[in-house]
Structure 1
Amino acid sequence: MVDGASAETDGSPPDESASGSDAPGGSDAPGDDAPSDGDTDSIPDDEREALVTIAHGAVVTSGGVSGQRALTAATEFVLARGLGPTAYGVYALAWRIAQLLSRLVTFGSVPALQRYLPEYADDPRRRGVVAGLAYATTLGFGAAIAAGVWLAAPRINDLTVGEAAFPGAMRAFGFLVGFLGVVMVASGIFRAVGSARGEIAFNKLLRPGVRLVAAVAALALGYSIGGVAVGIVAATALLAAVAVPLAARVTGVVPSLRGARLEARRFYDHAAPVAMSSLGKVFQNRVDVLLVGALLTATAAGVYNVVLVLIAIAWIPLMSFNQLLPPVASELYGNGRTATLNAVYASVTRQIVTAVVPILAVLAVYGRELLGLFGDPYVAGYVPLVVYLGGVFVGSAVGATGWLLMMTDHQYARMALDWLLAVLNVALTYAFVVRFGLVGAALGTSLAIAAQNGIQVLLLRRFEGLWPFDRTFLTPLAAGGVAILAMRAVRAAAPGRAAVVVGAAIGLAAYAATLRTLGVDPRDRLVARRLAERYRTALRRRFRR
């Protein structure tokens, strides 16, 4: 999950409800007292500002994340075609393990940046110390992980694919983890100060971009798995060396460890439980990758990796809206504006659902054709893909539950839940993979995502009174059903890859028409109108130049 891959949630600020109902603001659900159709004047100014800020960040981020997914898909396409199913499976397992470790290498530093840099906006010294602690923590854990991977690579190979090329690739990717962590921290600084473009440039575009360039160059020079791995490590190291000074120059947050001892306790009080949550999430929703490698074949690992490439596309809406939600939520919560936070949470979650439903529909209907682009052996991943999409839907439908837990200082509750479900998921996924193969891997992860996010949204309501759902969520669901019927009709009339573009276009048109017919929430219309005006003005100014 990402985490976009899983939504995360829980909390309990002061009750601002005059009537004492569970939802702040005194309504049974946040959208029930929404302005009537066509009426946006009654939306409070602070809510308008927050919604437009988050939506603008989502628009900017969606372009960056879409570019990231395109670059990632291109890299996997090149490698799948260039290496062949078995060799690609070996690479894919080593790469996925490195990705899992990269989730741990910052030791919760990136969420801590989101929590404290906005709070220390008027104190450059404390901002610098927080950034310094983030970098130092990441480098320390990166070195430890590289050493551990170097020693463990042969044993991992014996327990999984048993291929001669795996230990060398895994050892190279062990060094990659630290460099990825540095880039993530630099990107997190951009994000924490509200710069979506900086975070997108480094984390969403340049990071996968250098991997694609390195992979293509290595294959063109005749290298196989080992050469590809070394090339990716070298390119990422160069990116990390550029990212750190550039982030400091652009954001004004200059890393420093002077006075770090005074700041460290508060920093690690937030970062440590988040890091433990991340470790729990590795076992909770990424144990599938490890079990596929350990219990199935190298080819199966390659097929599952391609499934995850398509799944990553479905996480784009959640990731995009979560770009600027954490600092906005931190500010609202810190100022005691819980009612506004709840209204923003409800509106943003509905917008995420509206954006993700058509993506899920296209992947469900045309998944076989899309998997077939990587080669005929990868079509075997269609059923696992559809099963996994169920978890994506639940994770997206509850919104940014995990970020809200962290931004409302409930990181310990999240950590406990992560580990509780991690233990359960390891047992269930192991049983599912042994019994059902690749489908079992997808089923275990999908159930873990659904269980975690379902519990987290209940915890948010219990602790903070935050609750996103109301009847307006039914509109995109109904529109999605119409879109699926339209695409299935096109698929039946014109089967094959050639019908994918036409069918998807017709399905999206049916989705938009149904939304318009059923009616769009006034808050969503307000955001769309404000952003359209903003972009039109920006375009006019640019053309005048």
Structure 2
Amino acid sequence: MFWRGVLGYLPVNIVQGVVGLLTIVLFTRVLDPAQYGVYALAFSVFSLVQTGLLTWTEAAMARFLATRSEDGRIADHFATLYRLWLGAALAVPVVGGAVLAFAPLNGPLRIALAAGFAAVLVNSLVKLAQERRRAAGEVSGAAMLSMVQTAGGFALGLGFALAGLGGAAPLLGIGIVSLACVAVVLSRELKFMTGGRFDKALARTYFTYGAPVALSLILALVLASTDRLLLATFLDEATVGVYHAGYSLGSRTLDVVFIWLGMAGGPALIQALERGGQPALEDAAREQAGVIVLLTLPAAVGLALVARPLADLMVGEAMREQASHVTPWIAASGWLSGVTTYYLLQAFTLARRTSLLIVSMSAPALANVALNLVLIPRLGLDGALIATTVSYGLGAVAAWALGRRACPLPIPWAVLAKAAGASLAMAACVALLPAPGGLLELVLKASVGAAVYGALVLGLDVAGLRGKLSLILRRKAQAA
């Protein structure tokens, strides 16, 4: 199931990668730094509201679909979950109205937040449909829904930005395209509850499982968003815009790979555990962990190496120089965050001990708030970068240590060591290259770095990489 998902979700991640990069390229040019900062702040609030109020139902959909398929209670599963979702959704306009009515907001930020609150409900309904498809192994359906939402939201948001709607434009795009997706898919999703009934015992199970997941994700968002909010408090929205541009350049580039592997990996681990128990889970997890390390570690190192020429191409001139300073730091923290989120934290969801997620995420979230409060007033932008990287490192250690108590997942230490050695060799070779700037430097360093790393890991056959590549090529040939 893992490799079928890896291949099936590849188009999704190509679309997400292209859209993510175009978002940086175009929005940092169409929007000025202050408008881009408004968008960053509003998107952070949008994410916090959806995560806090609705994501627990999405998590329950993903985790328990296979279980309900085994016990024949799919209809009850859907009837219970959608009723729970409806009850939680009623809180969104209450929270949104209170924030807009009482928070001390300027005009552009108020409009952007209103757009974000409006988008939360339809975006969550689309997410429920996506999680159902992923958990059921409907790779093409989940992929198509994700691509339409991603590309459509970007295109519409860009149109709104060109029309002069400022920082609210991207969120308006997300909301309207999500509404269109809901109009297409919701009727089919609701048919799954035909003949089902709301079950209080299932509801308690889903809430007990999902609420800690949501709270842990809120802590993750606090970890990812505190720096922006405190930069706005201590400095200004223009600094937030610069920080967000560099942050996005680093994190989105890595997220493309992590999300791609996570979309395939999470359901595969659940299926392995449900059908084959702990031995099957360990085999599947060991394979996934090796692939994650082999693909993402050199990506993070390479991103740091090409931060300046990449920023020259991707970021508007007003934000370019400082964004290139931000990106290497975010490459490091983004790699730690991705490994934690898409592998280490899976231990708690697999074991259904999601309360430990809260413990695992509390330490880095609290550390991030404390470090930002101390370092931003003293060091400005650099203070936020140091706080973010240290906090994500602490989060990875906490997730690994606590995960061993819940559902021990293997750590591919040998693969990690070899991939790190190959990445260092790659960095040494790239450091010797000339730096003409712009596209020429980016292509030169990226191609040489990829060639050096690829030759080393293939030559050493790290984690049986040659066999895995042969498998992928055979499956592509069979599909053709």
Deviation of the 1:400 alpha carbon:
1.0
Conservation of the 8 A alpha-carbon contact between 2:348 and 2:406: no
Conservation of the 8 A alpha-carbon contact between 1:457 and 1:467: no
Q: 1:290 to 1:501 in 2, by over 3 A?
A: same
1:166 is the counterpart of 2:109: yes
1:84 is the counterpart of 2:32: yes
Partner of 2:78: 131
Partner of 1:60: 8
Deviation of the 1:451 alpha carbon:
1.4
- The percentage of counterpart residues that share the same residue type is 20
Counterpart Cα distance in 1 of 2:38 and 2:279: 50
Partner of 1:448: 391
Conservation of the 8 A alpha-carbon contact between 2:368 and 2:387: yes
Deviation of the 1:116 alpha carbon:
0.9
Conservation of the 8 A alpha-carbon contact between 1:117 and 1:193: yes
- Matched ranges for 1:99-114 at <5 A: 99-114=47-62
Counterpart Cα distance in 1 of 2:53 and 2:407: 30
Deviations 1:16-39 (A, max 9, x none): xxxxxxxxxxxxxxxxxxxxxxxx
Counterpart Cα distance in 1 of 2:276 and 2:177: 45
Partner of 1:326: 266
Deviation of the 1:67 alpha carbon:
1.2
Deviation of the 1:117 alpha carbon:
0.5
Deviation of the 1:95 alpha carbon:
2.2
Deviations 1:274-317 (A, max 9, x none): 12222222323332232223322111111122123221211233
- Matched ranges for 1:121-520 at <5 A: 121-123=69-71, 126-153=73-100, 156-158=103-105, 163-203=106-146, 205-226=147-168, 229-247=171-189, 253-254=192-193, 258-310=197-249, 311-335=251-275, 337-372=277-312, 373-378=314-319, 379-397=321-339, 400-492=343-435, 494-520=436-462
Conservation of the 8 A alpha-carbon contact between 1:280 and 1:418: yes
Deviation of the 1:228 alpha carbon:
5.9
Which shifted more, 389-398 or 402-411?
389-398
Conservation of the 8 A alpha-carbon contact between 2:254 and 2:296: yes
Amino acid paired to 2:305: V
Partner of 2:21: 73
1:521 is the counterpart of 2:456: no
- Secondary structure at the aligned position of 2:67 is classed as coil
- Secondary structure at the aligned position of 1:194 is classed as coil
Conservation of the 8 A alpha-carbon contact between 2:348 and 2:354: yes
Structure of greater relative contact order (alpha carbons < 8 Å, 6+ residues apart) = 1
Counterpart Cα distance in 2 of 1:128 and 1:75: 40
Deviation of the 1:235 alpha carbon:
2.9
The TM-score normalised by the length of structure 2 is 0.90
Counterpart Cα distance in 1 of 2:232 and 2:327: 17
Q: 1:263 to 1:525 in 2, by over 3 A?
A: same
- Secondary structure at the aligned position of 1:315 is classed as helix
Conservation of the 8 A alpha-carbon contact between 2:30 and 2:162: no
Conservation of the 8 A alpha-carbon contact between 1:54 and 1:325: yes
Count of matched residue positions in the alignment of Structure 1 and Structure 2: 476
Amino acid paired to 2:100: A
Counterpart Cα distance in 1 of 2:162 and 2:391: 40
Partner of 1:98: 46
Conservation of the 8 A alpha-carbon contact between 1:285 and 1:448: no
Counterpart Cα distance in 2 of 1:397 and 1:221: 39
Counterpart Cα distance in 1 of 2:262 and 2:98: 37
Counterpart Cα distance in 1 of 2:411 and 2:200: 40
Deviation of the 1:336 alpha carbon:
6.0
Q: 1:133 to 1:488 in 2, by over 3 A?
A: farther
- Secondary structure at the aligned position of 1:528 is classed as helix
Counterpart Cα distance in 2 of 1:56 and 1:490: 39
Counterpart Cα distance in 2 of 1:452 and 1:375: 32
Conservation of the 8 A alpha-carbon contact between 2:348 and 2:407: no
- Secondary structure at the aligned position of 1:370 is classed as helix
- Secondary structure at the aligned position of 1:415 is classed as helix
Q: 1:178 to 1:289 in 2, by over 3 A?
A: farther
Counterpart Cα distance in 2 of 1:317 and 1:96: 22
Q: 1:153 to 1:532 in 2, by over 3 A?
A: same
Deviation of the 1:348 alpha carbon:
1.2
Conservation of the 8 A alpha-carbon contact between 1:138 and 1:181: no
Deviation of the 1:202 alpha carbon:
2.1
Conservation of the 8 A alpha-carbon contact between 1:105 and 1:177: no
Conservation of the 8 A alpha-carbon contact between 1:292 and 1:438: yes
Conservation of the 8 A alpha-carbon contact between 1:75 and 1:215: no
Deviations 1:144-171 (A, max 9, x none): 233322331365454xxxx431112211
What 5-or-longer segments of structure 2 have no aligned partner?
Answer: none
- Secondary structure at the aligned position of 1:337 is classed as helix
Partner of 2:479: 538
Q: 1:488 to 1:464 in 2, by over 3 A?
A: same
Conservation of the 8 A alpha-carbon contact between 1:59 and 1:320: no
Deviation of the 1:536 alpha carbon:
0.6
What 5-or-longer segments of structure 1 have no aligned partner?
Answer: 1-52, 540-545
Partner of 1:18: none
Which shifted more, 189-198 or 234-243?
234-243
Which shifted more, 402-411 or 414-423?
414-423
Deviations 1:490-544 (A, max 9, x none): 343x33333212321121111111112333333x4333222221111111xxxxx
The TM-score normalised by the length of structure 1 is 0.80
Deviations 1:371-408 (A, max 9, x none): 23321232202333212222223344565121221111
Counterpart Cα distance in 2 of 1:537 and 1:496: 40
Counterpart Cα distance in 2 of 1:224 and 1:520: 48
Partner of 1:5: none
- Secondary structure at the aligned position of 2:410 is classed as coil
Q: 1:224 to 1:332 in 2, by over 3 A?
A: closer
Partner of 1:48: none
Deviations 1:221-263 (A, max 9, x none): 45444566545433332222223235567xxx44776233342
